[in-house]
Amino acid sequence: MFDPEKFTNDAIEKLKSDIDGKAVIACSGGVDSTVATVLVSRAIGDQLLAVHVDTGYMRKDESKIVSELLTEMGVNFRVVNASQKFFDGLKGVTEPEHKRRVIGEAFIRVFEKEAEEFGSRYLVQGTIAPDWIESGGELRDTIKSHHNVGALPEEMNLTLIEPLRDIYKDEVRKLGRYLGISIAEKQPFPGPGLAVRIIGEPTPERAEIVREACWIVEEELEAAAAAGKMELPWQYFAVLTPVQTVGVQGDIRAYGYTICVRAVQSIDGMTAAYSKVPHEVLERISRRITNTMPDKVNRIVYDITDKPPGTIEWE
Ligand code: XMP
């Protein structure tokens, strides 16, 4: 049985002995990185700088919400807007592992700069067990290169510290509740962000489309769950596919993108079952997305694949 109190005490002891001086932590604002941030902050206090990078692939209002949360938790933090760096690096990049490598590298270069300015040689990440298992750890096949921020470059000037690397999502949530973190139940969000929810080149324009669609999916499913129409899925979002199809608006031909809605039930993200979302709710999502972006999106589909054989994210 996972014991959050024991885990916290052991982790704080280990962090104190592993970190000699200052450290920076990559804090996306997701459950894993926030839990790791609070843990390290308890271990080394103001010797920690939490760095939240706005990559241009964050969800709506994410950076604002993270700033409020870190302020509330009394953590020393900085928000860095590096979206242009990420957009430039991802120009013309379509292959999922290539995307992850570009994103991982861009993150590390931002953190190296922040760490240098702060006078630290350690980078803490909220990587959890499924991240490195699926990244090909311990002789397994690489399903996708997670490592929280994406694939890490071979050459980096920082020593990596991962206090959550042996625990799973349900345990991280228990730990979050124990540490008094208000977002412990928040759904997971991948380190590489919306870039892996855009199939094909993740242009800034496509990032805007998928950001809006993810927002609508979140709002509608949360409202439906609050109204007792369904159970809130474990994870729920939109994927922008590169498929463009013919549609009609009034009596005019349209040609727009297809958005796929994804919602799954899971315990730890290692396996998942697609959520049986009521048709009425799916219909609301479909109408709202196509009405909000009529000139860009004209078709909505729902993913009914479990994991395996699919993964939760499409890339
Ligand atoms: P998949 O798509 O592999 O995802 O079934 C399992 C869970 O992990 C999340 N995910 C990531 N989390 N860095 C992360 O921190 C990543 O690179 C990454 N890729 C996927 C995914 O959202 C799901 O909850």
Atom of ligand 1 nearest to the CA of 32: 15
Residues 151 and 208 both lie in one domain:
no
Instruction: Please classify residue 295 by burial: count the beta carbons closer than 10 Å to its beta carbon, then call 0-12 exposed, 13-18 middle and 19+ buried.
Output: exposed
CA of 117 to the centre of ligand 1 (A): 30
Task: Calculate the average pLDDT of the chain.
Answer: 94
Assess if residue 310 is contained within a domain.
no
The pLDDT, as a whole number, for residue 138 is 61
* Cβ count near 95 (within 10 Å): 10
Integer Cα distance of 242 and 305 in angstroms:
19
Average pLDDT rounded to a whole number, residues 148-173: 89
H helices of 135-203, in order, are: 169-178
Answer whether residue 173 is part of any domain. yes
Q: How far, in Å, is the centroid of ligand 1 from the Cα of 59?
A: 15
Q: Tell the residue nearest (CA) to atom 15 of ligand 1.
A: 148
Tell me which of 55-64, 137-146, 147-156 is least confident.
137-146
Residue type, position 8, single letter: T
Tens digits of per-residue pLDDT, 114-138? 999 999 999 999 999 988 887 777 6
Rama region for 258: left / alpha / beta (φ>0; ψ in -120 to 50; rest): beta
Structure token digits, residue 42? 């308890």
Question: Which of 34, 144, 210 is the pocket-test mutation for ligand 1 (most atoms within 8 Å of CB)?
Answer: 144
Q: Mean pLDDT throughout 63-88?
A: 94
The answer to whether position 311 is within a domain reads: no
The span from the CA of 35 to the CA of 184, in Å, is 8
Query: What separation in Å is there between the alpha carbon of 163 and the centre of ligand 1?
Result: 18
Does residue 114 form part of some domain? Answer: yes
Can you give the pLDDT at residue 145? 80
Please tell me the distance between residue 254's alpha carbon and the centre of ligand 1 in angstroms: 34
User: Is the predicted pLDDT of residue 279 greater than 80, yes or no?
Assistant: yes
From the CB of 176, is ligand 1 less than 6 Å away?
A: no
Note whether residue 255 is domain-resident.
Answer: yes
Q: Is the CB of 60 under 6 A from ligand 1?
A: no
| The predicted structure's pLDDT at residue 139 | 58
Same domain flag for 220 and 166:
no
Structure tokens at 199: 């199939």
**CATH number of the domain residue 93 falls in:** 3.40.50.620
Range of the domain at 119: 4-179
Total domain count, the chain: 2
Burial class (CB in 10 A: 0-12, 13-18, 19+), 154: exposed
Same structural domain, 34 and 170: yes
Among 295, 80, 60, which residue's Cα sits nearest to residue 189?
Answer: 60
Considering the domain architecture, whether residues 39 and 175 belong to the same structural domain is answered as: yes
Ligand 1 center to 252 CA (angstroms): 40
pLDDT digits (tens, 9 = 90+) for 174-216: 999 999 998 888 999 998 999 999 999 999 999 999 999 999 9
pLDDT at residue 284, as a whole number: 98
pLDDT for 49: 98
Assess whether the C-beta atom of 191 lies below 6 angstroms from ligand 1. Answer: yes
DSSP state, 234? S
Determine if ligand 1 sits within 6 Å of the CB of residue 148: yes
- Distance between Cα 144 and ligand 1 center (Å): 8
**pLDDT score at 140:** 65
Residue 22 Cβ < 6 Å to ligand 1: no
Does 149 score more than 80 pLDDT?
Answer: no
pLDDT above 70 as % of the chain: 98
State the CATH number of the domain containing residue 280.
Answer: 3.30.300.10
What is the value of pTM for the model shown?
0.93
> Which pLDDT band, with edges at 50, 70 and 90, does 141 fall under?
confident
| Selection from 161, 130, 156, 155 nearest residue 144 by Cα | 130
CA distance 10 to 246: 58
Domain end (from 120, 146, 179): 179
pLDDT digits (tens, 9 = 90+) for 81-114: 999 999 999 999 999 999 999 999 999 999 999 9
pLDDT of 143: 81
Whole-number Å distance between alpha carbons of 109 and 44:
24
Find out whether the beta carbon of 125 lies less than 6 Å from any atom of ligand 1: no
Q: Is 171 in the pocket of ligand 1 (CB under 6 A)?
A: no
- pLDDT surpassing 90 at residue 275: yes
3-class SS of residue 252: strand
146 C-alpha to center of ligand 1: Å? Answer: 7
